């Protein structure tokens, strides 16, 4: 499965970036829980919907460079961070990044990447538990909402 993602928060950021549809621009504010910089880029999957937080599915994107806010890129889901509050996070790799292009399964993700992501969430809540790529793909398929506001989709 390949998906189109939009980056909200670059790796290394401590600020939260959110698209303001009314103003047609990005709004930035201090992340209310961040005590350390993001260990990976963070954003959302286009044409999906998460009823828990009433916006598209969240995605944590592994890529070598920090990806600027607003970057649209193609990603491959490789895992799912199942969160206790139900606001689950898709773990994906940038398919054009040489360091991650061949990663297809959660077991192939460097342990240091998974540990850094878990530590970031543990700073303010229970990190949750990792599930495999199949779980991520099921969640994506279940959440696809045509016309959700951004062009693009996820395809097998």
CATH assignment of the domain containing 19: 3.90.80.10
- Number of domains the chain contains: 1
Question: For 21-39, what is each residue's pLDDT tens digit?
Answer: 899 999 988 877 777 889 9
Question: For 89-137, what is each residue's pLDDT tens digit?
Answer: 999 999 999 999 999 999 999 999 999 999 998 887 888 899 999 999 9
Integer Cα distance of 150 and 124 in angstroms: 30
On whether the pTM is more than 0.85, the answer is yes
Residues in the chain: 156
CA distances from 56 to 4, 102, 111, 113, 140 (A): 12, 26, 27, 23, 10
Task: Provide the domain limits for residue 14.
Answer: 2-155
Q: What are phi and psi of 54, to 5 degrees?
A: 60, 40
């Amino acid at each position: 499965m390949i998906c189109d993602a939009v980056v909200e928060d670059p790796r290394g950021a401590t600020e939260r970036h959110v698209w303001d549809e009314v103003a047609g621009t990005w709004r930035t504010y201090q992340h209310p829980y961040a005590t350390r910089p993001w260990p990976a880029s963070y954003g959302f999957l286009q044409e999906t919907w998460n009823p828990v937080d009433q916006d598209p599915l969240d995605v944590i994107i592994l890529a070598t460079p920090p990806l600027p806010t607003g970057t649209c890129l193609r990603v491959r889901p490789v895992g799912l961070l199942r969160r206790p509050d139900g606001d689950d996070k898709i773990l994906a790799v940038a398919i054009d990044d040489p360091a991650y292009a061949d990663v297809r399964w959660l077991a192939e993700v460097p342990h240091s990447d998974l540990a850094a992501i878990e530590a970031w969430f543990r700073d303010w809540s229970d990190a949750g538990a990792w599930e495999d790529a199949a779980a991520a793909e099921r969640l994506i398929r279940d959440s696809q909402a045509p016309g959700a506001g951004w062009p693009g989709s996820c395809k097998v």
